[in-house]
Amino acid sequence: MKRVFFLAMMIVIVVSLATAKTPAKPITQDDLKDLKGEWTGERERVGIFNRTDLKIYNDSLPLRGEVTLHFEQRAAPKTWFFKNGRIENGRLIVVWSKDRSMDLRLRKGDGKMKLEGDITTMGLRCLVFFKKVQK
């Protein structure tokens, strides 16, 4: 019985280590150079995933760039430009129109970077996940 319990505990530990995420860290001025560039990902709402792209043009505040939303039923994606990206409470806040915005946190580690958080479009909030495009 002890062996079965021990084996079960080892399996739980191995699985938890394999699925562990890099912890989110507060975004600071030092991260601005890492944020600059192209990011691609998906937004998810009720099990529906749609591609979403983010480009950040500069590495100083306020951040400028563009957000491109791809739609499942539309052939053409829609791009919005922003020029007011800011850091607030350790998170990246981007607003590109009165009812469209993103609130993102940064995950860094193992040579990879991810942005994740919420995107709000026309009153609908979705989860959004980005990976940095490596060139």
Residue ranges per structural domain of the chain:
25-132
Rounded Cα distance between 53 and 17, Å, is 30
Rounded Cα distance between 27 and 41, Å, is 19
The candidate with the shortest Cα–Cα distance to 100, out of 67, 62, 73, is 67
The model's pTM: 0.80
Along the 135 residues of the chain, how does pLDDT read in single tens digits?
A: 666 555 555 554 544 444 455 667 789 899 999 999 999 999 998 888 999 999 999 999 999 999 999 987 777 899 999 999 999 999 999 999 889 999 999 988 777 889 999 999 888 899 999 999 987
Residue in this structure with the two tokens 């280590």, named with its chain if needed: 17
- Report the amino acid identity of residue 40: T
Cβ proximity of 91 and 104 under 8 Å: yes
Q: Which CATH class is domain 25-132?
A: mainly beta
